Amino acid sequence: HKTVQIFSKSYCPYCTRAKDIFDDLDVDYKALELNDHPEGPSIQQALQELTSQKTVPNIFVNQKHIGGYDALKSALDSGKLQTILKNSPSAKL
């Protein structure tokens, strides 16, 4: 069970930056590249209905919606992301 899930597109620079944040923190994540997935458009539509977010990356930690890259970077800079990850049962931080 992965704690961090990133709905991404392989060509998206903000998706790459989001993954880099988790790599720098040495946190495992599961990335689903919507542009490489046969159900990508319908998954993106479902995510939009669930989160009201049209863009990628669309990031979840412990099944809690974090948002996109700007929200992730803001949470990182404030220390909130590290707190969320520390309280996560399967994240190693």
The percentage of the chain sitting over the pLDDT mark of 70, rounded to a whole number, equals 91
Distance CA 51, CA 25 (A): 25
pLDDT of res. 1: 46
Question: Into which CATH architecture does domain 4-86 fall?
Answer: 3-Layer(aba) Sandwich (3.40)
* SS3 category, 58: strand
CA distance 77 to 43: 29
Quote the pLDDT of residue 78: 98
Asked whether the beta carbons of 68 and 42 are under 8 A apart, the reply is no
Predicted confidence band at 90 (pLDDT cuts at 50, 70, 90)? Answer: low
- Write down the domain spans for the chain: 4-86
- Write down the pTM of the prediction: 0.90
